[in-house]
Amino acid sequence: MHSLVNLFLFVSLLGLARCGGSKSATVQKKPGIDFITSNSMESVLAQAETSGKLVFVDIMAEWCLPCKMMDKDVFSDPDIGDFMNENFINYKIDAEKENGPVVAMVYQVQAYPTLLFVNSRGDIINKKVGAIYHSELMEMARSALASVAVP
Its pTM surpasses 0.85 = no
**What average pLDDT does range 61-70 have in this prediction?**
96
Percent of the chain with pLDDT over 90: 72
pLDDT averaged over every residue in the chain: 83
**What average pLDDT does range 12-36 have in this prediction?**
54
Q: Give dist(CA 58, CA 82) in Å, integer.
A: 17
Catalogue all structural domains in the chain, each as residue range(s) with its CATH number: 30-148 (3.40.30.10)
